[in-house]
Amino acid sequence: MSDKLRWPTFWALVAVFILIICLFTIPAFRDLLSGSVLFLTPFAFFFLLGVALIIFTVRGSVSGWLKKFFILTGASAAGVLVSILLHNLVYGLFVHFASADFWNGGDEPVFFTIALVAFILGFPVGVVGTIIVGARRLKAAR
């Protein structure tokens, strides 16, 4: 079962990633969702699909580089929402508990940087690697 769901989950992840990119690059789309809880909805789907891809890959019969790229893609997708939530949690804790002299109203950038740099760069690497290795396996199977 997990082998049949792995590729549709992968392509759904790619579609949600494109939606998230549109959310940040198209002003009308961004303005429609900004300031509401709906803004986090694509990230929640991205997280859930990433977790599902990891589960389907680990339980399935895939191996080698394809398995590694599937896991990289899923982990990168799942890690984005986790980093965003950790960023907001740490920021909230510092603002609430830290003194004004220590904090100065600044932002805690570590988790946000991880979300934007490590995970967002890891996702396209995983996607491209998965497509290349998957295409090679499909060609070899013919």
Predicted confidence (pLDDT) per residue in 108-140, tens digit: 666 677 777 888 889 999 999 999 999 998 888
With contact defined as beta carbons under 8 Å apart, do 87 and 108 qualify? yes
| Contacts of residue 62, Cβ cutoff 8 Å, sequence gap at least 6 | 3, 6, 70
**Lookup: tokens for 84:** 């965003």
pTM as predicted: 0.81
Q: CB neighbours (10 Å) of residue 81?
A: 21
**Lookup: tokens for 85:** 């939530």
Instruction: Categorize the per-residue pLDDT at 27 as very low, low, confident or very high, splitting at 50, 70 and 90.
Output: confident
Phi, psi of 93 (to 5 degrees): -65, -40
pLDDT above 90 covers a percentage of the chain that reads 40
